[in-house]
Chains A and B, each alone.
Chain A
Amino acid sequence: NAGVTQTPKFRVLKTGQSMTLLCAQDMNHEYMYWYRQDPGMGLRLIHYSVGEGTTAKGEVPDGYNVSRLKKQNFLLGLESAAPSQTSVYFCASSVTGGNTEAFFGQGTRLTVV
């Protein structure tokens, strides 16, 4: 049972480049989330989805886009990467809303130079 899998685990981008982070879960969860983790800032919600075909903005959505075309996948896109987007990105999923356990992936460390 893989749980939540993030691809890739590490990436270095040049300023202005684009990329997509992939999150896949095999638990049939309705909700999926993208967080970024920066030193001293905790986990900040970027975007989330309450079901296939839905997306919603979180606390820090600017510069990111997401898509949830399939229930098991949640994609996070950076159209034009900036150094301020250097961070560790975590995907998570939960059965229903925020008052149920969230299962996290291993994280993607992204560096924008």
Chain B
Amino acid sequence: GENVEQHPSTLSVQEGDSAVIKCTYSDSASNYFPWYKQELGKGPQLIIDIRSNVGEKKDQRIAVTLNKTAKHFSLHITETQPEDSAVYFCAASKTGNTPLVFGKGTRLSVIA
């Protein structure tokens, strides 16, 4: 089955700097790659996703890139703000009944 590896497990950046979180996946049939943000005491919430037919997607300060050949995808957050501090999860899945498989998460701390 699918295996998703996520790095780093913790990340600290200064406010205004960029943050990058990377994930790799094992199943070449996977075609959907979402990113979730989990704030303290809450459930994860989708912030951006990308499908295998595109290489990059951007939404304001966040962007995701996908390299299908290398089977890795990354989350980029620019101009980080204290409210970006949270745990971020990447995930992968494919068409059909197969549920999402999540990475182990990255705890991002933005230092003011």
Give chain A's interface residues, CB within 8 Å of chain B: 4, 31, 33, 35, 40-45, 48, 50, 56, 58, 90, 92, 97-102, 104-107
Q: List the A residue with the shortest CB-CB distance to B93.
A: A98
For residue B14, CB closer than 8 A to chain A, the reply is no
Q: How far is the CA of A67 from the CA of B96 in the complex (A)?
A: 21
- List the A side residues contacting B102 at CB < 8 Å: 35, 42-44
Give chain B's interface residues, CB within 8 Å of chain A: 6, 9, 31-32, 34, 36, 41-46, 49, 51, 89, 93-105
Known A-B contacts A58-B99, A97-B96, A101-B46; A41 and B31 likewise in contact (beta carbons under 8 Å): no
Q: Is the CB of A97 within 8 A of B97?
A: yes
Known A-B contacts A42-B104, A97-B96, A97-B97; A90 and B43 likewise in contact (beta carbons under 8 Å): yes
Q: Is the CB of A99 within 8 A of B43?
A: no
Q: How far is the CA of A101 from the CA of B50 in the complex (A)?
A: 11
Which of A42, A92, A99, A100 has the most chain B CB atoms closer than 10 A to its own CB?
A99
Q: How far is the CA of A102 from the CA of B44 in the complex (A)?
A: 9
Tell me the smallest distance from the CB of B102 to a CB of chain A, in Å: 4
Q: Is the CB of B104 within 8 A of A104?
A: no
Q: Is the CB of A45 within 8 A of B99?
A: yes
* Neighbour of B98 across the interface among A97, A101, A105, A106, CB < 8 A: A97
- List the A side residues contacting B31 at CB < 8 Å: 99
Tell me the smallest distance from the CB of A11 to a CB of chain B, in Å: 16
Q: How far is the CA of A98 from the CA of B43 in the complex (A)?
A: 17
**Nearest 9 pairs between A and B by C-beta?**
A104-B43, A98-B93, A99-B32, A42-B104, A43-B102, A98-B99, A98-B100, A101-B46, A42-B105
